[in-house]
Amino acid sequence: MPQSASSCPMFLLHAASELMAEVGYGAMSMRQLAARVGMQPGSLYHHIASKQDLLLDVLLDIYAQRVEAWRLSTYSRDLQGFLQFLLARQRTHPAEQLLLRHETRHVDAARRSWLLQARQRLYAPLCHYLGASRHGTQAAGVEDAMDLGEAILGLLDSADALRGREHPMDEAAIEAWIMRMSRRLAGGAGAPALIHR
C-alpha cells in the first residue's frame, strides 16, 4: 500500500489538485487536466492508470505533506501544539482542506483503505497525546483516545464554518474556542491538563 503518491509526477499532482479545488472531482475531466498541463488527453494515461487513481494520489499527497510538515514544525509536541499545527495548516492551505473534506467521498471502496491508513498516520499524534493520559486497560485507553480524537477533529472541521459565517470569528477567537472545547472533551475523559490554559 502506498504511503504517499509516488507513482504520479508532481506536475500532474499539482495541476490535478488545483483543478479539483476549483471545479470538484466530479466535474473535472481528464481533457481539462490535459489542457492545463499542455498534454494530449491520451498521454495522461502514460502517467496515471485512471481518474480514481489520480484522486487517490492527490489525497495521499496531501496527507503525506501534512505528516512531513508536522515532523518539521516547531510546535510543542503535545495536544495543544498539534491542534495549533492543524489550525494553521487549515488556514494557510485552504485548498488542501477543501479537497480532504469534499473529495474524499469520491474514493471508491477498493482504494479507501489506503486513504484511511494515510489519515491514521497524520492523526496518530492526536491519539497518542490523548491515549497517554488514559487510565485503565490499554485497549480501553486506545478506543477512548480514538473516539476523543474524532470528536476533536469534528471541532477542527467547524473552524472553516466559523471563518465563513456572516460575522466571522477572527483566528485568535477560533483557536481559543477550539482549545477550550478540546480541553472540555479531554477533561471530561480524565485528561484535564492536556491543553494549557
In a domain, 3, yes or no: no
Q: Which amino acid is at 149?
A: G
In the chain, what's the furthest Cα-to-Cα distance?
Answer: 60
In a domain, 2, yes or no: no
If one counts the domains in the chain, the total is 1
In a domain, 104, yes or no: yes
Provide CB contacts within 8 A for 7, sequence distance 6+: 48, 53, 57
Instruction: Report pLDDT digits (tens) over 109-133.
Output: 999 999 999 999 999 999 888 876 5
In a domain, 180, yes or no: yes
Domain region containing 164: 51-188
| pTM: predicted TM-score of the whole model, two decimal places | 0.86
Instruction: Report pLDDT digits (tens) over 55-94.
Output: 999 999 999 999 999 999 999 999 999 999 999 999 999 9
Q: Give the count of beta carbons closer than 10 Å to the beta carbon of residue 193.
A: 12
Going by pLDDT thresholds of 50, 70 and 90, the confidence category of residue 194 is low
In a domain, 9, yes or no: no
What CATH number corresponds to the domain at position 75?
Answer: 1.10.357.10
Q: Any idea which residue has 478506543 for its cell?
A: 143
In a domain, 41, yes or no: no
**Per-residue pLDDT averaged across 23-27, rounded?**
97
In a domain, 142, yes or no: yes
SS3 for 42-66 is HHHCCCCCCHHHHHHHHHHHHHHHH
In a domain, 119, yes or no: yes
